[in-house]
Amino acid sequence: MKKLINGVDDIVSEMLDGMTAAYPEYVKRLEGFEVLVRAKGATPKVALVSGGGSGHEPSHGGFVGKGMLDGAVAGAVFTSPTPDQVYEAVKAVNGGKGVLLIIKNYTGDVMNFEMAADMARDEGIDVEQVIVADDVAVENSTWTTGRRGIAGTVLVHKIAGAAAESGMNLADVKRVAEKVIANVRSMGMAVNACTVPAAGKPSFDLADDEIEIGIGIHGEPGTHREKISSVNNIADKLLEKILGEGIYGSGDEVALLVNGMGGTPLMELFVANKHVNDVLASKGIKIAKTIVGNYMTSLDMEGFSITLLKLDDELKSLLNAPADTPAFVQF
């Protein structure tokens, strides 16, 4: 295993310090905690907190900033943050208008974020939560009851963040987030698995001519393995499952996210994006906004995921609202 690290136990802490050193105008670290918050502190609006295990960068700390998150909590690699870390984040970002927790549907995340919410409510903080479960690959998985939360979470951050920035109250920000969750679907694949530093070996083995379809973002194997083929053919398989949900049809407008898993060249992501655009156009589905890049990764995994979000006028307006964070800038 080759990793550019100093020590396995120090990776997350050193990463967070490195992010604050790179982006001091955006983020600061809560002393003693693996938590990033906005550099200027809490503001009198609904605050958004998300997070999870590290290894998905730029999620989640890269989305702390105007128009997206107010706080991000980083667990160890692929491990849920503890309730006290989430609790400290909630207290730090609370500006008096309440806090919305955006949780990916993994058992540890759901349990620990819910415990933190109860702790914050005991302190008189108004806390609500939403759970993202956009992965159409599997109904249940190694770490979940129900579908996993993957790259669609980024669109929840963006749209709910814009709603909060616009001055909506906590109930309306939660309503908007739940509307995104109801209309977003994703699916991914891998050419090669990732290597967790503490494990020192790939999370699963693929032959030189094999790919894994339906992977998660924690190095989990997917639904099945098959021989590698053209990216057009692979994208078709992912789209077939997503479109099979029955919520996207001719005349609809969607947002499209072609997300890299961490080790995939942008060249290849853009080739995949071209074909997805062609397929959706052939079905009469209009793409109102396309986002291509690494947003919800899995360390050094090579592969990509496709996310579609069905838009209405409200979601489209919020998606296009300004945002300014280290990993997402839109004016």
Q: Which are the catalytic amino acids? A: 56, 218
Q: For the beta carbon of residue 1, count every other beta carbon within 10 angstroms.
A: 9
CB 184 within 8 A of CB 177: no
Tell me the CA distances in angstroms from 167 to 44, 95, 130, 172, 285, one per residue in order.
9, 12, 19, 10, 32
Element (H, E) at 204: none
Tell me the CA distances in angstroms from 165 to 48, 67, 295, one per residue in order.
10, 6, 21
Angle, nearest 10°, between helix axes 266-282 and 231-243?
50
Tell me the CA distances in angstroms from 217 to 141, 161, 178, 299, one per residue in order.
12, 23, 22, 9
Nearest CA to 37 out of 119, 92, 76 is that of 92
